[in-house]
Amino acid sequence: MSTASSPGATGPGNAAVWHEPAVSREQRWAHHHVHGATVWLTGLSGSGKSTIADALSRELLQRSVLGYVLDADNLRHGLNANLGFTDADRTENVRRVGEVARLFADAGVVAIVPIISPFAADRARVRVAHEGAGLDFVEVHVAASLAECERRDTKGMYGKVRRGEMSGLSGVDAPYEAPTSPDVVVARDGESVTESVRRVLEHLGQLGVLGTADH
């Protein structure tokens, strides 16, 4: 048996070839009256990303728009179970989640991604991948301040870092590069979850994501 045909073999003869699906995106979206997109919620731990994501998914359901929350912690139980929290692993975590979100959006789902994603370059690569595929990518900065996030300390991580029991918390002893030109900014100065969701929905409406399902 030749090496090229063996399972797991690599090399030019074993390169992946893109397979165009028999059913086009336009056909899928038209049949189900949907418009896929990705809503990427970035912010510090405890900023309210997951709370806003869940509220957004419920509001989309009320509008007969299919949304799915790709929770970063949940994905670390499966798809990303082999990744830690080094800078390289964080970058790979974002890449994988971004690829899954792009597939969901292509299928016609509004992929909602609440993930710290601390590095601007990683988020930019996800945007470029979406835009290259002709898909809407909405970067939402959940801009609750560090002081507010630490006051909430929903997962107890800020306390652990301050006590020296853990390290590597984005925005404290690890980098967090806040977006400089996000599509939407929410959760600033005590803004309510309801208002934050309204801002995101308004932007999605402007993109036409909600249009076909509203009729």
Active-site residue, selected from the candidate residues 117, 181, 192, 196: 117
Locate 148 and state its tokens.
């507010």
Locate 38 and state its tokens.
């990705």
117 is catalytic: yes
Contact 101, 38 (CB under 8 A): yes
Residues annotated as part of the active site = 117
